[in-house]
Amino acid sequence: MSEHPVTPNPEAVLIGDAMTGGYGTGADILHSCTIAVNKGEIAVIVGPNGAGKSTAMKAVFGMLNLREGQVRLNGEDITKLSPQDRVAKGMGFVPQVRNIFPTMSVEENLEMGAFIRTDDYKNTMEQIYTLFPILKDKRRQAAGELSGGQRQQVAVGRALMTKPSVLMLDEPTAGVSPIVMDELFDRIIEIARTGISILMVEQNARQALEIADKGYVLVQGANRYTDTGQALLADPEVRRSFLGG
């Protein structure tokens, strides 16, 4: 594994190809960064603090200006589209903070996720309740009263209500206990098995790479290592530099 340019599979569901850019008129944070996810696979972005992990995901979602590179979803160039238009094209995004409506019930939060749907979404809601049974039990409760792990389930469920082809999660396990992290990762694997592609940014690098089909190690906004999750976990250089030995 070396720092050569990453060549994504052209069939990938989502490709952020050679992205260079930053926020507003500020300095570039990403430097020819490439992130891709294949159908039904889990891709994980890891790296040290300040490596541009969340920025890479926000770039894919259209939240910052790209000076170079492009973003493609299901073969279509969406580089110029707003985040809202990307959702309509099949992107689901769960930000790290402020990702639920705390005063609304769990069910109302899920209904808010279906705002772009013109068809009957009750079926999708049932699928989410099957995936996250605790949400069914608490569907009348205000989402803000739930535990951190349960609130994350609401946020993920809400994003799934749009029936995305790709689901992006920004640090889904931030601030939850190890047991809740394992449970969330199990659910994420289940979602991927339904054919939805998953792209996530994770601080818990070792655990995330264990479930990842593909891993991207970013350093200072550039690709440092790209391989399968298992290969990255087995690489002594990656282990020493990024996984604490």
202 occurs within a structural domain: no
186 occurs within a structural domain: no
* Confidence at residue 129, expressed as pLDDT on a 0 to 100 scale: 97
Positive/negative CA dihedral, 123, 125, 127, 129: negative
Q: Give the CATH number, domain containing residue 4.
A: 3.40.50.300
User: Which residues partner with 65 through β-bridges?
Assistant: 22
Query: E-strand spans in 29-155?
Result: 30-37, 42-46, 65-73, 76-77, 91-94
Contacts of 177 (CB under 8 A, 6+ apart): 149
Report the number of distinct structural domains present in the chain: 1
150 occurs within a structural domain: no
- Longest CA–CA span in the chain (Å) reads 51
182 occurs within a structural domain: no
Query: Using one digit for the tens of pLDDT, what is the confidence trace for 88-112?
Result: 999 999 998 888 999 999 999 999 9
225 occurs within a structural domain: yes
Alpha-carbon gap, residue 34 to 146, rounded angstroms:
36
The rounded percent of the chain whose pLDDT value lies above 90 is 84
Query: Using one digit for the tens of pLDDT, what is the confidence trace for 121-168?
Result: 999 999 999 999 999 999 999 999 999 999 999 999 999 999 999 999
Query: Using one digit for the tens of pLDDT, what is the confidence trace for 179-234?
Result: 999 999 999 999 999 999 999 999 999 999 999 999 999 999 999 999 999 999 99
For β-strands 65-73 and 14-22, DSSP reports them as antiparallel
- State yes or no: pLDDT of 245 exceeds 80: no
Closest of 32, 117, 46, 35 to residue 72, by C-alpha: 35
- State yes or no: pLDDT of 80 exceeds 70: yes
To 10 degrees, what angle do helices 106-113 and 148-160 make?
30
241 occurs within a structural domain: yes
Query: What is the value of pTM for the model shown?
Result: 0.93
Q: Which residue range forms the structural domain that includes residue 35? A: 1-89+208-245
Alpha-carbon gap, residue 137 to 135, rounded angstroms:
5
15 occurs within a structural domain: yes
